[in-house]
Amino acid sequence: MKVLAVLYKGLEAARQEPRLLGTVENQLGISSWLKSLGHEFIVTDDKEGPNSVFQKNLKDAEVVITTPFHPGYLTRDLIEQAKNLKLCVTAGVGSDHIDLDAAVDHKIQVLEVTGSNVTSVAEHAVMSILALVRNFVPAHEMIERGDWNVSEVARNAFDLENKVVGTLGAGRIGYRILQRLKPFGCKELLYYDYNPLPAEANKDLGARRVEDLKEFVSQLDVLTVNAPLHPGTKGLINRDLLQHFKTGAWIVNTARGAICDKDAIAEALKTGKINGYSGDVWNVQPAPKDHIWRTMKNPLGGGNGMVPHYSGTTLDAQKRYADGTRQILQNHFEGKPQDPANVIVGTGKYETKSYGQR
């Protein structure tokens, strides 16, 4: 069987650190296992254009492994050319780089390693919220520059205590963020999601659900975005919605870059409509050198907490999604049922309730 994987190049770091499993060099730790079973395993980072290793090998691959970190974009057109394709595995969480409707139409299954990095992302989101609210990055940069001017950074530093924080999407990550924020004594924890939190899960949390999106954002000091990217969330945070935010609110988006309108965010930050924007996900990855989110700032020269897409790829997370990928493959080879939580698209239908109300 031909198995094709698109991973990112880890270079020197991956040679020095074998736990960087999600790299071309370390091949999710499954290379010798796959070969011992007689399968052909092609691993590449070369993914763009018809002559790329990815697109050339896709034509007769039966299984494709991709990650959200260096996404091998599986468009409808490519899916239609992939005549043998039966299974797409996302080594991680978030399969928006695959045309899921096309996978449904062509009876190609799409599986994720659900839950593999949700705590990793939740921790990053909480860190980013604190870093923005407390104005950490400009304060650190001042120190590196050799300067010392307390009021210059304190003028835009606040406590998280008594702020209203809300998550757009209260699934595995959104819920974990709210759980972790509980001890900070926020004024209120809110959420917006068409799937309500189970009563049991919300018992200790006491998060309030708001059903209207504009009403939701208008109450927030901090928004954290934790919904998958699908037609119902693409560009959801745009110029129109930003007008409904409190002036000076902070946004942390570790879900998907394209949920936010790139230019509308940069403009809102520049004018001070929002005080900060942070996250690790971009509308194109790798982000171009001149992507405005790399350098955008608020009127005081801070408010930017952007990093490359790595919140869900800590070494702990890499072990979990590499092991999970192996388990999914093993089930596929042996004809065993898959863990239902991992199935985004089953044979010919959506199995998840997270990619819009279908």
The reply to whether 117 belongs to the active site is yes
Q: How far is the CB of 271 from ligand NAI (least distance, A)?
A: 26
Judged by CB under 6 A, the residue of 74, 108, 137, 168 near ligand NAI is 168
DSSP symbol at 66: E
Q: Find all residues with CB under 8 Å of 53, minimum gap 6, and list them.
A: 42, 44, 46, 47
Is 271 a binding residue for ligand NAI by CB under 6 A? The answer is no
Coil, helix or strand at residue 164: strand
* Token output for 131: 């870093």
Beta-bridged to residue 306, according to DSSP, are: 279
Binding marks (x or -) toward ligand NAI, 210..249, rule CB under 6 A?
A: ----------------xxxx--xx----------------
Considering only residues 70 through 129, tell me which ones interact with ligand NAI, judged by CB under 6 A: 92-94, 117-118, 121
Q: How far is the CB of 125 from ligand NAI (least distance, A)?
A: 9
The reply to whether 256 belongs to the active site is yes
Is 294 a binding residue for ligand NAI by CB under 6 A? The answer is no
Other beta carbons within 10 angstroms of residue 252's beta carbon come to 29
Is 298 a binding residue for ligand NAI by CB under 6 A? The answer is no
Task: Note the Cα 177 to chain centre separation in Å.
Answer: 14
Among candidates 245, 256, 194, which has minimal Cα distance to 221?
245
- H-helix or E-strand spanning residue 305: strand 304-306
* Token output for 319: 């072990």
Number of residues located near ligand NAI, criterion CB under 6 A: 33
Q: Find all residues with CB under 8 Å of 215, minimum gap 6, and list them.
A: none
The reply to whether 327 belongs to the active site is no
Judged by CB under 6 A, the residue of 10, 22, 71, 171 near ligand NAI is 171
Which of 109, 117, 253, 342 is labelled catalytic?
A: 117
Is 32 a binding residue for ligand NAI by CB under 6 A? The answer is no
Coil, helix or strand at residue 29: helix
Q: Any idea which residues carry the catalytic annotation?
A: 117, 256, 285, 309
**Interface residue list for ligand NAI (CB under 6 A):** 92-94, 117-118, 121, 168-174, 192-195, 226-229, 232-233, 254-256, 280-281, 309, 311-312, 354, 356
